[in-house]
Amino acid sequence: MYHFSKREKILTGIIGILLVMTIFLLNPANRSNDVNELVITNENDADEIIEVENDLDLPMEIMVHISGQVYQPGIYKLFTGDRVIDAVNLAGGLTKDADIDKINLAKKIVDEEKIYIPKAGENVDSNFVEGDNSNIDLSGNSDNVNSNKIDINTCTKEALMSLPGIGTTLADRIIEYRKTTKFNKIEDIMNVSGIGEKKFNDIKEFIITN
């Protein structure tokens, strides 16, 4: 009777294992299960990727209006997390007359913010400079309220342009109008061409007459 050597036994075992694996892999039912498991795995991976993307705090586009002592005042598109300095750079940088002591270049900006860069020596409330147009004092103290507002009879062109919806053209018209006619009450500003009731309602909380 023939006896297998140790080496032959090992080779026979390996061949047997390979035959079993080949038969298993060639079985259509087994291949189908493998494919299904692969698809399920991929779907789960895709779901995890989507969940991760949803959890990411991706920057969103915002629009800000910057005016005053910058070379190119206007409305610019930035992203959440950007700072005042980013808006200033988009607007061409600060002019030599800009009062950098009255602005916080490191402040984060928000959507629809108005940033006004004052001129050196110009008396403008710091909160208004940084774009907070809602700093209205509700305490009943009229002196505090008025300190946050612009006198349309005496303010600079830049200050006028810091008002919502007031650009270069309207600011020039206001200045031309007051050269000959004083604004006795804030409603008189509607006598300026281009300023109707809607625009007046947008700016009335930020202006006074003295």
Q: 182-185, long-range: CB within 8 Å, 24+ apart, which pairs?
A: 182/153, 182/209, 183/152, 183/153, 183/209, 184/209, 185/209
Domains and CATH numbers, the chain: 58-135 (3.10.20), 137-210 (1.10.150.320)
Would you state the pLDDT for residue 136?
Answer: 35
As a whole-number percent, the residues of the chain with pLDDT over 90 amount to 29
Confidence of residue 145 (pLDDT cuts 50, 70, 90): very low
pLDDT digits (tens, 9 = 90+) for 36-76: 444 444 545 555 555 544 444 567 888 888 988 998 888 88
The single residue listed with the structure tokens 């909160």 is 127
What pLDDT band is residue 2 in, cutting at 50, 70 and 90?
low
User: Cα–Cα distance between 186 and 190 in angstroms, integer?
Assistant: 8
The arithmetic mean of pLDDT across residues 22-46, rounded, is: 55
Read off the pLDDT of residues 168-203 as tens digits, 9 standing for 90 and up. Answer: 899 999 999 999 999 999 999 999 999 999 999 989
pTM of the complete model: 0.40
pLDDT digits (tens, 9 = 90+) for 79-120: 988 999 999 999 999 999 898 888 889 888 888 888 889 888
Integer Cα distance of 111 and 132 in angstroms: 12
The confidence band for 23, taking pLDDT boundaries of 50, 70 and 90, is confident
Q: Name the average pLDDT for the chain.
A: 76
